[in-house]
Amino acid sequence: ARGYPEPIVTWRREDGNEIILKDSVGTKTLVSSYRGEVLKLAKISRNEMGSYLCIASNGVPPSVSKRISLSIH
């Protein structure tokens, strides 16, 4: 994201559940939000299905957000 001041990009689940992050060996970390432009979800299951919000904020209203829906079949 670009802007001045430079925006901070944060991800969170729309339903309020925690985001499950897994490292390369499968160790899980649960977080309420994730800061970074790219959210990488590895080895996902149906538990990760749902809507995720990507929010860019630089302290100057309004913040910009987009909803990304993740479906697993």
Domains located in the chain, CATH noted? 8-70 (2.60.40.10)
In this predicted structure, the answer to whether residue 8 has a pLDDT above a threshold of 90 is yes
> Bigger pLDDT: 12 or 23?
12
In this predicted structure, the answer to whether residue 1 has a pLDDT above a threshold of 80 is no
**How is residue 72 written in tokens?**
């697993």
pLDDT of residue 52: 98
Q: Do β-strands 28-31 and 34-35 pair in parallel, antiparallel, or remain unpaired?
A: unpaired
In this predicted structure, the answer to whether residue 9 has a pLDDT above a threshold of 80 is yes
In this predicted structure, the answer to whether residue 26 has a pLDDT above a threshold of 90 is no
